[in-house]
Structure 1
Amino acid sequence: MGYRRHSLQIQEREQAEWNLRVSEKKIRQDYHSQRALSSILKISMQSVPLKEKLKQSLDQILSIPWFHIQEKGCIFLVEGDDPSLIMQAQRGLSKSLQTACATVPFGKCLCGRAAQSDEIIFSDCVDEQHLNIGLPMADHGHYCVPILSNERTIGILNLYVEAHHRKSEDEVRFLLAVTHVLAGMIIQDQAEQELQQHAFYDVLTKLPNRALFMERLDRLIQHSKRHPNSLFAVLFLDLDRFKNVNDSLGHTTGDQLLIGASERLQACIRPSDTVARLGGDEFIILLDEIDDVAEPYRIAGRIHEMFKRPFELAGHEVFSTTSVGIALAKPNDQDAEKLLRNADSAMYRAKNQGPGQTAVFDSEMHAQAIMLLNKEIDLRQAVENEALQVHYQPIIGIESDRLVGFEALARWDHPIYGMVSPDEFIRIAEESGLIQAQGAQILGKACRQMQQWISQSPSHADLYVSVNLSLKQVLFPGYIDWLENVLRETGLPPRSLRLEITENILMEDVETTCAILDQIKQLGVGLYIDDFGTGYSSMSYPHSFPFDALKVDRSFVSNIGKGTQHADLIGGIVAVAKSFRMDVIAEGVERQEQLEKLQELGCNSVQGYFFSPPVTSEEAGKLLTRKSGWLVPAPTGTGTKHHSQPFRLA
């Protein structure tokens, strides 16, 4: 009895000692595991590249004393639309193995199968051919552990174990904890890269954006202070007729053109140079360390040659040239913004010379830039003081041979420069954000003047005034209420007002624009399509909008007599209008033969210098007394001597 009790005590003591050893082993194991996880967490917070973080993390994993693994392994990340594993960090792998496993497709080898299944794959012994990798290797085993984010594999941790190694639950738990931390590290890096990308790169073209470009330009300016003999230049580029592509083929095709343009620009420069996208269809290039002042011209020449080839976009062959402005940096240039403005000014000069041109900024251009800035200030004051004038060009009914209305056209009589070209001051208004206030002022004055004429005589009751409407006005919140208020305050009957909208506006936001135009029609205001025929889809959309008339662009009218195709085109426009029960008004009539052809083609109304140039309200009032006889040649001294352009808001 005593012997049995003593033997039992010995067994209990041995069991307790064994339990203690197991417990101590578990404590040491947990300590090393937690220490490794803590180290990897600290590594994830370092300001070093992700590859370096992964390498350090792999070193920590392979140094775990209780984990019986070989001191070699690697970490892959998933990349590409057709996903593959790309090796990012390794330890202990031969050069040949690194090359063979640099990229592993999903489904291939153990790592590829683990990535495809999103599950751990353990093999206690892999044959020497290693599943067709083609490299002789000693027998060994593998842990291939997916690094998961939202149950999706974003990487693989691949560890080597001795052949016939037995998998344990402790090992699996540790590896799951490690890959969880690694997943956080990778996701954090991806988020940081995405923020960096959004902050400094254009989303569409992946080119540097304005912020990164200006940072590099500032750095180059600082470098030039230390090296006065260094030369660099800024090129400002704008795609010619890009808006036409956007309007006619859609924004998706326009985006493809921007991407194609960015690729061609990058092909024209050196690796040390920078191409950036400012926004819209504007690009800028920074030429670093150029050999001479002629180098920017040579680069611009290469760009022009490159852009002579058509772009293949969505089944369309699209031609788009580019205007290039060059600003050469001088030793005392210390202002990046000024250098960019100079290149921008040069680009506008190039654009004024025609498509596909290059211009360089010089002192004369600087003076013009200052004058343009002063004009913008003066235009703002003119708008605020309601100093803009409205001139009126008569519109004549062909069938009645009588005055049926006027088109209201903005004029600016500058105190120093005199009459400023409408093309110039309208561009200034658009670029400075004044176009909406300017357009509203012209509309208000035109409505008041027309109501005054109507109130003077019952014979004027059927007259109307037409005013151009800009896209910004159309989409301005509360525009309908404002328009209704203008009609109420001026007393002008809605039927006496026509709003002219250029067809390109209609392509911007068809659904919203159509809804607003319907509301305008409900007020009783007439709607015209202005410059009809200049868009790329003119014949396809008139039925979609509530228009009363089409205005044939002056470019078609001016070509009457220069070939039958121009008259045929106008005839086609008239046929389209009639099919939708719309009238046709022809602009830019200057010769008798043009008038006669337009009568023959069935146009309802005409306007142009053949009848009268745009005139002041006082002179227009005198035209109201003329009852008929408009469709006869104008007296000598009028007609084509006058050259002016109508006010175009958009």
Structure 2
Amino acid sequence: MRLLILVSLALTAWLSVASPSHALEAVEVPASSDAIDLTRAVELYPNSGPSLQVSTAPGADGIVRRIEVNSLDDANSSWAVFALSNPGDEQIDRLIVAPFFQLVGSRLVWPDLGSSRIASITPSQGIAPERQSSQEADVFLVTLDPGAVVTYVVELRSPSLPQIRLWEPDVYKDTVNAYTLYRGIILGISGLLALFLTILFVVKGTIMFPATAVLAWSVLSYLTIDFGFWNKVLQITPGDEQLYRACAEVGLAASLIIFLYAYLNLNRWHIRYSHLALATLILVLGLLGVAVWDPSVAAGIARISLGIIGVLGFAVIATLAVQGYDRAIMLVPTWVLLLAWLTGAAMTVTGILANDIVQPALAGGLVLVVLLIGFTVMQHAFAGGAIAQGLISDVERRALAFTGSGDIVWDWDIDRDRISTGHEVEDLLGLKPGVLEGPARDWLDVIHPQDRDTFRSTLDAVIDLRRGRVSQAFRLRSEDGHYRWFRLRARPIVGSDGEVIRCVGSLLDITEQKVTEERLLHDAVHDNLTGLPNRELFMDRLSAALARSRAEGLGRPSVIVFDLDRFKQVNDSIGLSAGDSILLTIARRVSRQLKPQDALMRLGSDTYALVLLSEQSADRIAAFADAVRRAVRSPITFGEQEVFLTASVGIAIPDSNPVESDELLRQADMAMNHAKRMGGDRVEVFRPTLQTTGSNRMELEADLRKALQTDGISVHFQPIVRLADRSIAGFEVLARWNHPKRGPISPSEFIPIAEQSGLINELGLFVLDRGARQLSEWQAAYRLPVPLFVSVNISSLQLLRHDLINDVKSVLSRSSLAPGTLKLELTESVVMANPEYSARMLERLRHLGAGLSLDDFGTGYSSLSYLQRFRFDTIKVDQSFVRPNGRSARPVILRSIVALGHDLGMQVVAEGAESESDALELHQLGCEFAQGFLFGQPMEVSEAGKMLDAEMETLRN
């Protein structure tokens, strides 16, 4: 029996050495990831036989297992192995994508011309990956269960696997669509260029055109192969286009030789150029036969030949350019760009340039090179025509220029009093022929009434002054009654007697220009979405109403400003287009409340303002404002859901003292902001105290900013006591501000200011750093059996910042603290504002070594599922549950909270202990810690140090 056990152990050890058995490292696949490159995470086993035994990645239980996979065709197959893990709590779908062809790293010699890479994929558990239809890559759909770790064994169809990625399906679809659009544009430009050059060859039979057309068609053929176009047309098996790709690269090199020979007309320079070009062309075309035998060899030679052609071609071009050959000089910039493209292509195929956009960029660059070559050819071929040589007369040139401008000839024969314009104007206006062919007075019937006097006086002035120019815009009535704008530019022609005999010029239809100007003028003073007046037009109307009121003493205008409450949240939840519809609906509803003398404007994104003239008494104005508020409160139906909104309304009513328009609007805005601070959905009238409150608030914000910069903020420490022996367990760190003029300012006053002004992050980091430093000093000075801890409050704005992790890490690195003694306190409302994000942030904070405390438990959401998920160390019971309130349910609720905390493995701290009876009751209920005025108010560092000294003295005795 022992011998059998020894033999089995030896056999197991031999198998572990003979086959790959080490555990894989699983690649985590977060739900938020778009794409993950698995190329370096894959273990390859080339030519490893018809089956493969591998060890799986450790699962969630840490166990490494072994699996064996057999080949589909029992051949000496190549294999690849990788593992994926889903760290999230939701099932995710991903696409495994292995492209058939990658230009990056495809090699210069014996290049990899692409093929199907994956025959099958076998998972260690779960659903087998499903192959997806694709002409460009092997695509498999995999499903990862929450917390699963799956090892995938891939049977390869080729010994190499240049690239394999894991894509989010929608992102992969969008990426493929984006590249498809780009490829379509490139193919369209290339195809049009090739067709255009071919047509030019038919029109102008110069030899350079067919040579350039051959180059363009070769580039188009290469791009269609590279983009997989022929795979769809010729039904080529995916990944089996090596022959076509090799032939395309050979054709590219051959066409470049043909173009260079034809464009530079090398046969006129020396016979050696022709022999060299012909020999090179024969050798390159011979590669087509090699491609049938081995496409990889032919493609490698073609790539090397392409580089040699580029270098030798540049040498020939430079030599001819030095000799003053025009064609060579014109080709130098384009050939330099071609050399740059060849350099980039060489760096790509050798792997020096390796990214996703280099292959599409090279395709676009190749089309750009051919486009520039085409422009160079056309520039040379069409240089020097009849027009360029100036064979036309000056009169003909002027006639051609006038015809090209599109203007209408306007000729007024003054002696005969007859205006001639041809039939263009009559056609534009839809009039009968000959209506405008007559005396000037006939034009007055079709000219806009507002333009008639100007038209008549302008023509009279030209005749009387016998000089000058006519430049006038006027409107002519069309047959359907609409008017079109025209601009007349003319000058008089004086006869031998000094009198004006004719007036000749041009007439241009400028209707579109005028319409554009009117639209721009309208948009400059109106809101584009609602069509309401914007701030500039509103202020102008308000100023006019105030001026009229002061001049006539009637109708003082009042200003009403209302802002939609929580509109941003509604906009984020239902979308921008729906939000725009809501804004339009609100504008229409409020507009129906107005009378003709009133005016409504859109002041901002969701803020509107009113100039109210129809109501003068204060109670009627307030009633009107309340009607506006109620109009906003009415539900808005959008699709299958109803949206409920409220508005904060502010009113500014001018008194007998003169007031400017901007001041009146500012007063209404201050009243609206006060209504919003009071909870919204209410109407507030401006009063002078609001202005004082606003200015005081701004002063406090400036003073708070200055205090943070000059250490004007101090930290106090309120002791937290261990109820079992009344010993000090820790402190809560609290910010205090002693204003130099106003004295101590309550945190309830300056904390909201800090949150609204963005200073809360700087203030929170200051308190966190000071608390950690002081705790480090205390832990070093007082060697207590259980290390002291401090608790620091974290606001919602701090938690939502990504820099919070770095801030806590920096604070902990500067202070030597026992793990978990720096506790971060967060309220339930802060955590539940964004539960998913909060869970990730709290988990990362815990890994840094910070403790987590849930403050004010029981006053917020109290979601037990999230409480179990967040894994807090401590629960702080709100003081409303600790202080006696005469209700019999209070001890029951308090006992339940303490028991809940203990069942979840958390310690419980009670706030608000003010008497011995409170402390005794909390201890009997099982609460470990308490804080309150019974054990000490928030105190300075020196006083807290004295308490700790007394604590140490008690321990020594």
Q: Give the TM-score band, short-chain normalised.
A: 0.5 to 0.7
Report the equivalent of 1:370.
695
2:907 equivalent among 569, 583, 589: 583
Give the Å deviation of 1:498.
0.7
Q: Percent identity?
A: 32
The CA distance in 2 between the partners of 1:546 and 1:223, in whole Å, is 63
After superposition, give the CA deviation of every residue in 1:490-531 in whole Å (9 maximum; x if it has no partner): 333442201112223324443333222222111110112223
The residue identity in structure 1 corresponding to 2:615 is: D
Question: What amino acid sits opposite 2:850 in the alignment?
Answer: V
SS at match of 1:437: helix
Deviations 1:227-279 (A, max 9, x none): 43543444455788x69x97xx9973999999999978975743655475856
Aligned equivalents of 2:907, 2:711: Cα separation in 1:
34
Aligned residues: 448
Residue 480 (structure 1) aligns with? 805
TM-score by length of 1: 0.55
* SS class of match (2:784): helix
Residues in 2 aligned to 1:315 and 1:537: alpha-carbon distance in whole angstroms: 32
Aligned-residue CA RMSD in angstroms? 5.2
Aligned to 1:526: 851
Corresponding residue SS for 2:766: helix
Aligned to 2:936: 612
Partner of 1:440: 765
| 1:492 aligned to which of 789, 792, 817 | 817
8 Å Cα contact 1:391/1:408 also seen in 2: yes
How do residues 211-250 of structure 1 correspond to structure 2 at under 5 angstroms? Answer: 212=534, 216-217=538-539, 219-228=541-550, 229=553, 230-235=555-560
**1: distance between equivalents of 2:705 and 2:649?**
29
Distance 1:254 1:611 in 2: 53
- Cα distance in structure 2, aligned partners of 1:537 and 1:285: 41
In structure 1, the residue matched to 2:573 is 252
Task: Measure, in 1, the Cα distance between the counterparts of 2:791 and 2:933.
Answer: 17
TM-score for both structures, normalised by structure 2:
0.39
- Please state how far the C-alpha of 1:383 moved relative to its aligned partner: 0.8
d(CA) in 2 for partners of 1:237, 1:595? 51
1:227-626 pair list within 5 angstroms: 227-228=549-550, 229=553, 230-235=555-560, 252=573, 269-270=593-594, 272=598, 274=600, 283-294=607-618, 295-302=620-627, 324-329=649-654, 332-334=658-660, 336=662, 338-347=663-672, 349-350=674-675, 358-459=683-784, 462-536=787-861, 538-558=863-883, 560-562=885-887, 564=889, 566-591=890-915, 594-625=918-949
Once residues 602 and 347 of structure 1 are traced to their aligned partners in structure 2, the CA distance between those partners, rounded to angstroms, is 50
Gaps of 5+ in 1: 1-37, 40-58, 66-91, 94-184, 631-650
The CA distance in 2 between the partners of 1:537 and 1:302, in whole Å, is 39
- Residue identity opposite 2:776 in structure 1: Q
- Aligned in 2, Cα 1:334/1:463: closer, same or farther, shift over 3 Å? same
Larger deviation: 380-389 or 261-270? Answer: 261-270
Q: Distance in 2 between matches of 1:319 and 1:577?
A: 39
- Structure 1 window deviating more from structure 2 (226-235 vs 257-266): it is 257-266
Q: Deviations over 1:337-386 (max 9, x none)?
A: x5454334434555676776544323333233222222221111101112
Deviation at 1:419, TM superposition (A): 0.9
Secondary structure of 2:820's counterpart equals: helix
Q: Which amino acid aligns with 1:361?
A: F
Shift in Å, 1:465: 1.0
8 Å CA contact retained: 2:716, 2:735 = yes
1:409 shift after superposition: 1.0
- Asked whether the 8 Å contact 2:713–2:736 carries over to 1, the reply is yes
SS of 1:389 mapped into structure 2: strand
1:541 is paired with a residue of what secondary structure? helix
Taking the aligned partners of 2:647 and 2:614, their CA distance within structure 1 comes to: 22
* Cα separation, 2, equivalents of 1:482 and 1:263: 46
C-alpha separation in 2, matches of 1:559 and 1:567: 9
**1:231 maps to amino acid:** R
Partner of 2:438: none
Q: C-alpha offsets along residues 179-224 of structure 1, whole Å, 9 cap, x if unaligned? A: xxxxxx9xxx9xx99xx89x9478xxx797xx94575345423443
Q: Which amino acid aligns with 1:221?
A: S
Q: Which has the higher contact order (CA 8 A, sep 6+)?
A: 1
Superposed CA deviations along residues 464-490 of structure 1, whole A, max 9, x for unmatched, are 111112333334344323322222223
617-626 or 523-532: which moved more?
617-626
Q: Is the 8 A contact 1:408 1:465 kept in 2?
A: yes
Query: Structure 2 matches for 1:71-82, cutoff 5 A?
Result: none
Letter in 2 for 1:488: S
Whole-angstrom distance in 1 between the partners of 2:891 and 2:769: 37
Kept in 2, the 8 Å contact 1:388–1:413? The answer is: yes
